[in-house]
Amino acid sequence: MNAIEIKNLTKVFPGGKRAIDDVTLTIKEGEFFALLGPNGAGKTTTINVLTGLVPKTEGEVLVFGESISKNHTYIKSLIGIVPQEFNFGIFETLIDIVVTQAGFYGVKRKDALIRAEEVLKKLSLWEKRNDQARTLSGGMKRRLMIARALMHDPKILILDEPTAGVDVELRRDMWVFLEELNKKGVTILLTTHYLEEAEQLCKNMAVIQLGKVIAEGAIKELVSGQETQLFVVDIIGTISDDNLKALEIFLPKKVDDNTFEILISTAHSLTDFFDICKVSGIRPMSIRPKSNRLEEFFITLTQK
Amino acid sequence: MNFFRTQYVAYVTMMRREYIRIVRIWAQTLLPPLITTGLYFLIFGKLIGSQVGGIAGFSYMQYIAPGLILMSLATAAFTNVVFSFYFSKFQRSLEEVLVAPVHPFTIVLGFVSGGVMRALLVTLLSILMMLFFIPLSVASVSAVLFFSLGTALLFSLGGMINAIYANKIDSLSIFSTFILTPLTYFGGVFYSLALLPELWQKLSYLNPVMYLINGFRYGFLGVSDVSIWVCVSVLSGLIIVAVLWLLMLFKQGRGLKI
């Protein structure tokens, strides 16, 4: 079953700004779906239409087969939202924030307190439950937003840049948590600027630019169409002009005396590169992708 | 999902949050109206009032007490809703309730009830404070209840309407400073209409707040400058107008969308 079906969705703001232009998307139940796009592409507006914060201008949005135009109150009960910006009362305690949110979804206080303990413990926030939200670190505030969104046990979780400004360790912990959640059957829609995050977590994605979907499908298939990938090579010794000439089929670009970049295309493999190195007396010490394939796909696509 | 059960739980949750907020910042929500009312009461009632003498068979302090209470009640109701709603929009914490399956009517009811709750708390505390200075009897319990609840409701609705129109923080105080305060002062809090020259008496009949003050005063003292039924009609009419105004705003899509 499709969890979310967006058909020809258009949103024109007063003043004429067309934030979403004829967007069509399908997200299946249980999927971990990435919605990518540069700043101002229309990702947050799409999410805001889904959650009822912004009324649509045209088109249709179905959630588990129900239209948001006809039954938005019911649909809202199926969705948990983690917005981009912190939007809780900073003077409220953590326990009040999450229990209040549950109340807005019709969860009685007695049940909400039990659920709050479960969710806050899972997100390592239980010890802080009686602290005001303003005293939390940035990472804790992000986790609080996730905890709050999970209080009513939603079938769909929408995460709008959930790991923005979060350190690497915490980001990876959050990935594990979200993967577990997805395995339990929660459909997850993720927007992120960290393409590595999308590649790690999601199977399918859509890229949106200037309000239009410009690519959609399985991440593996989309990035496999990439014809080139940029690598950074560190070598033992100093790079000479002769070295660069020997490697010219890889369009080498010197970074410093010991480092250069090469472009591996579908016509030449890394084995070819190492063969040439061996013949030319170049001794690679390390080689790493400059960016991941999804990142290159994204840049190629959005710069067209 | 049972729709009505969800709305009930959401409403109770909103009320609880509002109560916690009011009590948490009691020095801003409950104390200032008490101090203001107390000062008015001491200065106008005790110091100047002792020179004025009685009105309609009551001491001047007794006569102005209901009007002062109503003034605090109206200000508390209006201020609570206008600030609570505006800052919820400003901080974006309003989104918490907007993304949830809460009907717009429940949201409005929640905010308005918060205003009524604070107004009634202020009223209760004001009455308790005044009892230290004067005996305050109740002539008509139903009139006291109707005019306290009705005025709190009216000014809470007014606060909501003001907050919806407000697009900057300065706009929050325009209504209360330039309309509400003058109407209240000229509404007969400190005097009986009978003491005014004829022209001012006639002008006072155009002031809607005068009817609310007289109705409330009737509840405590059993005296009013105008018929109690006119007061009841004016308050009921104003509430209906405010409700219709709010409904029109929501129909236009203003207020609860970002």
Q: What is the mean pLDDT of residues A120-127?
A: 94
Q: Does residue B202 sit at the A interface (CB-CB below 8 Å)?
A: no
Report residue A78 as tokens: 């199926």
- The number of beta carbons lying within 10 Å of the beta carbon of residue B234 is 19
- Helix, strand, or coil here: A18? strand
Are the beta carbons of A104 and A52 closer than 8 angstroms?
A: no
B192, pLDDT greater than 80: yes
pLDDT at B1: 67
pLDDT at site B177: 84
B246-253 contacts at long range (C-beta below 8 A, 24 or more positions apart): B246/B108, B246/B157, B246/B160, B246/B161, B246/B164, B249/B161, B249/B164, B250/B104, B250/B108, B253/A55
Subunit contact A91:B24, Cβ cutoff 8 A: yes
> Residue B228: how many CB atoms within 10 A of its CB?
18
* The pLDDT of residue A104 is above 60: yes
Tell me the per-residue pLDDT of A252-284, one tens digit each, with 9 for 90 and over. 888 898 999 888 877 788 888 899 999 888 999
State the nearest Cα–Cα gap between B167 and chain A, in angstroms: 16
B194 vs B51: which has the higher pLDDT: B194
Which pLDDT does position B169 carry in this prediction? 83
pTM, two decimal places: 0.82
Chain B hits for A81, CB-CB cut-off 8 Å, are 99
Distances (CA, A) of A83 to A145, A162, A295, B150, B180: 8, 8, 23, 39, 38
Helix, strand, coil distribution of chain B in percent, nearest 5: 80, 0, 20
* pLDDT tens for each residue of B223-253: 999 999 999 999 999 999 999 998 888 777 6
State mean pLDDT over B202-219. 95
What's residue B143's pLDDT? Answer: 97
- Residue A158 corresponds to which tokens in the numbers above? 């929408």
Q: Residue A90: is its pLDDT beyond 60?
A: yes
Residue A23 is predicted with a pLDDT of: 94
Among A52, A106, A148, whose Cβ lies nearest the Cβ of B1? A106
How far does the CA of residue A74 sit from the closest CA of chain B (Å)? 6
The single-letter DSSP state of residue A131 is S
Return the number of other C-beta atoms located less than 10 Å from residue B4's C-beta.
9
Lowest pLDDT segment from A97-106, A209-218, A291-300, B164-173:
A291-300
Q: Which of A78-87, A283-292, B158-167 has the highest mean pLDDT?
A: A78-87
DSSP notation for A135-196: GS-HHHHHHHHHHHHHTT--SEEEEESTTTT--HHHHHHHHHHHHHHHHTT-EEEEE-S-HH
- Which has the higher per-residue pLDDT, B52 or B99? B99
Instruction: Among A158-167, A202-211, A274-283, name the one with the lowest average pLDDT.
Output: A158-167
The mean pLDDT value for A14-38 works out to 93
- The reported pLDDT for the residue numbered B180 is 83
Higher pLDDT, residue A226 or A68: A68
Q: Position of tokens 């009892």?
A: B131
CB contact under 8 A, B1 and A52: no
Per-residue confidence band for B257, with pLDDT thresholds at 50, 70 and 90: low
**CA atoms within 13 Å, Cβ hemisphere of A260:** 26
Predicted pLDDT at B255: 65
Give the per-residue pLDDT at B52: 76
How confident is the model over A165-176, as a mean pLDDT? Answer: 84
Helices and strands in chain A: count of H runs, count of E runs: 11, 14
Question: Hey, is the C-beta of A13 within 8 angstroms of any chain B C-beta?
Answer: no
CB contact under 8 A, A104 and B100: yes
Average confidence (pLDDT) over B9-34:
93
- In Å, how far is B213's CA from the nearest CA of chain A? 36
Q: Please check the confidence at residue A165 and state whether its pLDDT lies above 80.
A: no
Residue B10 has pLDDT above 70, yes or no: yes
- Going B170 to B173 to B179 to B181, the CA torsion angle's sign is negative
What average pLDDT does the segment A289-295 reach? 73
Region of A217 (left: φ > 0; alpha: ψ -120 to 50; beta: rest) is left
The pLDDT tens digits of the residues spanning A128-159 come to 999 999 999 988 999 999 999 999 999 999 99
Mean pLDDT score of chain B: 90
HEC per residue, chain A? CEEEEEEEEEEECCCCCEEEEEEEEEEECCCEEEEECCCCCCHHHHHHHHHCCCCCCEEEEEECCEEHHHHHHHHHCCEEEECCCCCCCCCCEHHHHHHHHHHHCCCCHHHHHHHHHHHHHHCCCHHHCCCEHHHCCHHHHHHHHHHHHHCCCCCEEEEECCCCCCCHHHHHHHHHHHHHHHHCCCEEEEECCCHHHHHHHCCEEEEEECCEEEEEEEHHHHHHCCCEEEEEEEEECCCCHHHHHHCHHHCCEEEECCEEEEEEECCCCHHHHHHHHHHHCCEEEEEEECCCHHHHHHHHHHCC
Mean residue pLDDT of chain A comes to 90
**Chain B CB contacts of A106 below 8 Å:** 1-2, 5-7, 9-10, 101
Lookup: tokens for B15: 């009320």
* Confidence band of A226 (pLDDT split at 50, 70, 90): low
Residues 75-134 of A with CB under 8 A from B: 76-77, 79, 81, 83, 85, 87-92, 96, 100-101, 103-109
The mean per-residue pLDDT over the stretch A54-80 comes to: 92
- pLDDT score of A47 more than 90: yes
φ and ψ at residue A181, rounded to 5 degrees: -60, -45
The interface predicted TM-score of the complex, written ipTM, equals: 0.83
Q: What are phi and psi of A54, to 5 degrees?
A: -130, 130
Compute how many other C-beta atoms are within 10 angstroms of the C-beta atom of residue B254.
13
Segment A110-118 mean pLDDT: 96
Neighbours of B257 (CB within 10 A): 13
Instruction: In whole angstroms, give the CA distance from residue A162 to residue B43.
Output: 57
Q: Which residues of A touch B253 (CB under 8 A)?
A: 55
Residue B125 clears pLDDT 80, i.e. is over it: yes
pLDDT at B181: 85
Q: Whose structure tokens read 């000479």?
A: A240
Average pLDDT for residues A114-140, to the nearest whole number? Answer: 94
Question: Is the distance from CB of A166 to CB of A139 less than 8 angstroms?
Answer: yes
Contact criterion met (CB below 8 Å) for A9 and A23: yes
Mean pLDDT calculated for residue range A114-118: 96
**pLDDT surpasses 90 at A103:** yes
